[in-house]
Amino acid sequence: MERALFDAPVPSAAGDVMPPQCVCGGKRFIEIPARDQMSFLARSTEDFVPADAQVRVIDEIIEQLDFAAFERRYPGGGRPAFPPQFVAKLIIYGMCVRVLSGRELSRRLERDLHFMWLAHEQRVDHEVLSDFRRKFRGEIKALFQQTVQLGLALGLVSLECLAIDGTKLAAAARRRALNQAELQQALAKLDEHIDQLLAEAEALDAADDAALGALRGDEVPQALASAQARREKLAALLPLTAAQPDERISLTDPQAPVQKTPDGKRPGYNAQIAVDDKVGFIVAADVTCEQNDTQQFAPMTEQALENLPRPPDVLVADTGYHSAEALEYLAEHRELNGYINQQAVGTPGLYGQQDFVYDAATDTYQCPAGRPLTFRNETTLHDKVCRVYRVGHSCKDCAQRGQCFTGKLCYRKLTVLPHGHLVVAMRRRVQTDEGQAALRKRSATVERNFGTIKAALGLRQFLTRGLDAAGVEFRLAVIAVNVRKLAAWIAEHGWTLAPTAAG
């Protein structure tokens, strides 16, 4: 009889093959039962996870959300579908625990007890999860709004301070983007390759005719078909390069412009969030193709106001949001106590434009020394028509000349943007104690959420292509962040959400 591979005892270093003797009697180790041993214990899915597991709280939270809009998209008939709330639970919990891929999520349903408990031991194909993201783009945005309402109901949103900020996330595309010249060069190489393939096909046809007689002659070689398809794709992208800010375009995701990121320049999107400062609850989110934040202040504020019962006490953003449009928006909406941080301009230690007092009745500025600066002419600066003001005589005899300008200049002048008075007013606002406190809150409020999205959830690069798909993916991540905060708050306070009709 053959012996098994590991039947023979393994000798120790001393050559002793005898097992050690028990000193105090009894068994030295727990006896592990065999895997094929039958069990008389009745088990259920509820035995898979502890009573205080996070997945139970997240399941309870998502049970409170209304999925009627999702359900209306299913006409019925044919093979039954998984309930949309059931699929949403799997996707949102997966993002909460850093499982973003549909394929990986499908694998977890076979080996991860918490996922198996959440799915009631059902197996879900990854295509069902991917189709859910594509099919319900509008409904997912409304689902995020429901998490905001739940946060308001539980007191996680104080409306004391709302901070707006953005971050760059890489697109699901190659790092390299091509400009118009590089695309034309690629087209030329493809044309050479196609000509070569055509010549080879003609030579092959001639050889076949000589050996086998006449053939149909209309067969297109596979290599030639694929090369022509690539050429058509490149030719379609060629006119789109002019629409990109730097005239470069990604071949794999043409909608993703080249963004400046800490990891260098690469195709990506600009993700925006508005965050309440109490626990960092996100109340507005969006994804844009813009390379900076200058035009995002008003849209993000409007979206936040739609989701909130009233305007926040303080609204704050960093210097990236400074623009004429943003300042004019705050000027039109006096009920918003807004602060937009301003970049330092001019020479430190010298008088800036904010130190000059404007008199609208006479259209003049008064310098700190009391001398008037009158309008002289208009000029163009940053594509905006500016008004130039200067004193009517030399400033050489002024006692404060050294604090106003340096060098060999004879007089001081101001180049005032059309919204210059708004800039001056905002500079004064952010220098107040309230303004400085708001700016400190902003950095502590927003940045930790971006850290959660990138580090805890693992969303540093989108898995889907196109602006709409990236927006859905980001909103699902934001929903996951809010659900994590809701779960932590409920676990900390020992609350139980109201039972639903399904429960």
Determine the Cα–Cα distance for residues 79 and 229; give it in Å rounded to an integer.
36
Q: How far apart are the first and last CA of the chain?
A: 61
CB neighbour class for 202 (10 Å; exposed up to 12, middle 13-18, buried from 19): exposed
Q: What is the DSSP letter of 278?
A: T
Q: What is the DSSP letter of 453?
A: I
User: Up-side HSE of residue 159: CA atoms within 13 Å toward CB?
Assistant: 16
How many other C-beta atoms lie within 10 A of the C-beta of residue 493?
Answer: 9
pLDDT at 370: 87
Residue that has been written with the tokens 């200058």 in this structure: 294
**Tokens representing residue 40 in the block:** 């008389």
- Residue 100 near residue 459, CB atoms below 8 Å: yes
Interior angle at CA 383, CA 381 and CA 387, nearest 5: 45
Contacts of 319 (CB under 8 A, 6+ apart): 340, 341, 342, 343
Residue that has been written with the tokens 């007689």 in this structure: 213
pLDDT per position as a tens digit, 395-446 = 878 888 888 887 777 888 888 888 888 888 898 899 899 999 999 988 888 8
- Residue 163 near residue 317, CB atoms below 8 Å: yes
- Residue 146 near residue 68, CB atoms below 8 Å: no
pLDDT at 242: 52
Q: What is the pTM of this model?
A: 0.78
Can you give the pLDDT of all 503 residues of the chain as single tens digits? 455 555 555 555 555 556 666 556 667 788 887 878 887 776 788 888 998 899 999 999 999 999 999 999 988 778 899 999 999 999 999 999 999 999 999 999 999 999 999 999 999 999 999 999 888 988 999 999 999 999 999 999 999 999 999 999 988 877 776 655 665 666 566 556 555 655 656 565 555 555 545 445 445 455 545 555 555 555 555 555 555 555 576 777 778 888 887 778 888 899 999 999 999 999 999 999 988 999 999 999 999 999 999 999 999 999 999 988 999 999 999 899 999 998 766 667 788 887 888 888 888 898 888 888 898 888 887 777 888 998 877 787 888 888 888 777 788 888 888 888 888 889 889 989 999 999 998 888 888 999 999 999 999 999 998 899 999 999 999 999 999 999 999 888 876 665 443 33
Determine the Cα–Cα distance for residues 249 and 258; give it in Å rounded to an integer.
7
The residue extents of the domains of the chain are 45-135, 178-249
Determine the Cα–Cα distance for residues 462 and 474; give it in Å rounded to an integer.
8
Residue that has been written with the tokens 């069990």 in this structure: 39
Q: Are strands 364-366 and 357-359 parallel, antiparallel or unpaired?
A: antiparallel
pLDDT at 215: 45
